[in-house]
Structure 1
Amino acid sequence: MKHFVLGALAAALLASSAPQAVLAQQTPATFVQAGRVLLDPAGGKVETAKTLVVQNGKVVRVLDGYVAEPGGKVVDLKDSFVLPGFIDSHVHITGQQGPTARLDEVTQSSAEQAMVGARYAKKTLLAGFTTVADLGADNEAIFALRKAIAQGDVAGPRIIASGSAISVHGGHGDVNGYREDVMHVLRPGSVCSGPDDCRRAVREQVWKGADIIKITATGGVLSNTAAGLGQQFSNPELEAIVDTAHRMGRKVTAHAHGGDGIKSFLAAGGDSIEHGTWLDADGIALMKKNGAYLVPTLMAGDFVVGIAKGPNNFFTPAQTAKALQAGPLMLDMTRRAHKAGVKIAFGTDTGVSAHGDNAGEFALLVQAGLTPMEAIQAATVNAATHFGLQDEIGALTPGKTADIIAVKGDPLADVSALKSVSFVMKGGQIHKE
């Protein structure tokens, strides 16, 4: 059985939730008094009148009633619905789509992108997302931001980072649409051709600090090239990528729209699918056989269609055509996958849509047939298990990291209540109260 490690994230969890051992006995407890609370989303049971005792960044006890002890801090959430902090399995936190996005790509330094990412990270955290997976960014920018958040220098969600995506020359993830000399300068080292070169690219991403390997198994909507949305890597290349990543202790997730790329990636042993637009019955069967997760990113599909059809369309012609082709199919795909029993992890592809609006995905998941509780499970226990972090995050049972959020409404009656988070604690530290 393969054992996958997210080394940098483990360090981030440690940094955010565990002070030095010599100070452990001196750290006062925080008593979070919850009117209604979802302690373990896996069980789906909402409990009432509970007190969560938080110390050294962890939930250490859960008590009946509203309890406080001398010297402790009391957080009064008696009028609120309390949940574990949300996990967004797919973001791009160092940038955001808009009329200047293509210009930003050639004018912003890595340092500037990290600073932009710090702004978006805070917005994301205050929206109730205490963990995110960034699946495609400048290596230097995202790894620096990940470290700054882990050390407490920047307020933001803990970051699982892939860095640059493993991409095929000329395809989605490569640089397209600029002068050739500009493209050569901007092209990341993670672009590859041929099995041996792709092994090299994976190894270099791990060397540079990737927690997870993200590949572009098919064409993509926002690459400025009319290269379609089908499979772009060859099968031997996919096999080389997955085998190399697994040998180096990393899971592999694939940006994949076309059904051919989805099935070829899964047949190669890939771990999860991002988007999955043309996922068919055979692809669904492979996902269930492999135990692979689907991250539907419905907000991205909804957003690109709105831009492509809108009066202020800032997409290029190639982007517009692909947006109108793929976007409308994603809701039905998710509905079929869910009905068939495919495991779903919450992910938005935020950075395509606006940072801080991540919770808009919940309503779209419900439109696709998930119950509000299933949508919450996708953003907590499912996403935690997807990343192998189920022992650390995704629930509020004793021993778990104290990532606690609250809303005033009842999200099980109206899932849109999750768009208005009123309290955020990450790793025992309050960020919004």
Structure 2
Amino acid sequence: MDTMKELRPTARKYFQDIQVDEKLSPKKAPSLCSIRYGIAFITHLCNFVLVAQNVIMNITLVAMVNSTNHQSQFNDSTEGLPVDPFGDPNTSRKSLPAGGAGYGGQFALWERWSPPHERSRLCSIALSGMLLGSSIANLLGGIISQALGWPFAYYIFGGVGCVCCLPWFALVYDDPVTHPWINIIEKDYITSSLAQQVSSSKQSLPVKAMVRSLPLWSMCICCFGHQWLFNTMVIYTPTYISSVFNINIKDSGFLSALPFIIAWVFGILAGYLADFLLTKSFRLVTVRKIITVLGSVPSSLFLVVLPYVASNYITAVSLLTLCSGLSLLSQPGVYINALDIAPGHSSFLMGVSRAFAQISAILVPTISGFLLNQDPEFGWRNIFFLSCAVNTLGLIFYLIFGEADIQDWAKERKLTHL
């Protein structure tokens, strides 16, 4: 009897803990036909439009200036500028600032709409629209310009943008609480999932603490290294293929679009892979780092191997395509890490990391051009080895100092009254 009396409080506490856990772990809402996945799809379309319109601008740029010979001007214009899947679609002075604003602004949306265990896939679905915009614009831009004239490229893609605005205005709201048509189960699921996160959206930016934050610096440096690798691939590998095999890869719209189509597929799959790993009891920081490694190491290795397969055109193009595709595996890794370490400041932090990473867009052409001029024989090998080294160093820094816990400077500070 004494033993039973001792067990009763323990059993009572056990069942109380179960009830608490059930309250903290709300029943998951279906994803099919849900508002949160609808918003991800709408954001996917908006990202598609942002990038496609900027790519079209570059494709038609020469024809706009001098429209006397559409055929030759289109061929010149498509020698084009790099398309960046993580923000502004072109990293040159000709890119529009709207892409960067749209890239950073959408993270404020996911602060309030993405449950932690679905954040990777929702962000990946949304961001992958940039890759689809790049591939479709490269594939159809030249055809439209040659068949109908360059103004129709603007009419068509501009019209698509206007159409995409309609569901955005009708279906996208600041948060689940204010959405008029959301299912009560889904609303409770999202709000309960985010209840444990600390919001700092109403507080001023802790600039000094941010500057001293190693997790933030690791995110910026890793993004810089990864962007260096991707800019090298996009800017110089077509030129490399042309110089080695005497084949202009830009002459084929499909070959130009293929790396971005592959990257679009890998980008979406990476988000599901990240969330799958979370269901297997991996820590969030471990998942972010695993995904980032998968998006960095294989691409670096394939790029280094590229100069050694100069005798095989198909192998070289295949490696180029794999480099671009696999690099997007990092999308649900380091690129959305700001939502983990500072949810309330994620939009600002994504803008900062984006700006820091785009320094590589200035350095890559300058340094790569210098290497080619100094050593024409081994210049390509040096360019690819340098890209691999910069990307690897950024990855190592992130693996050492990267975190996924909300930082102290990002937590809500409550005022105390004396």
TM-score, length of structure 2 as denominator length = 0.21
Structure with bigger gyration radius: 2
Higher helix proportion (structure 1 or 2): 2
- Asked which structure has the greater RCO (Cα within 8 Å, sep 6+), the reply is 2
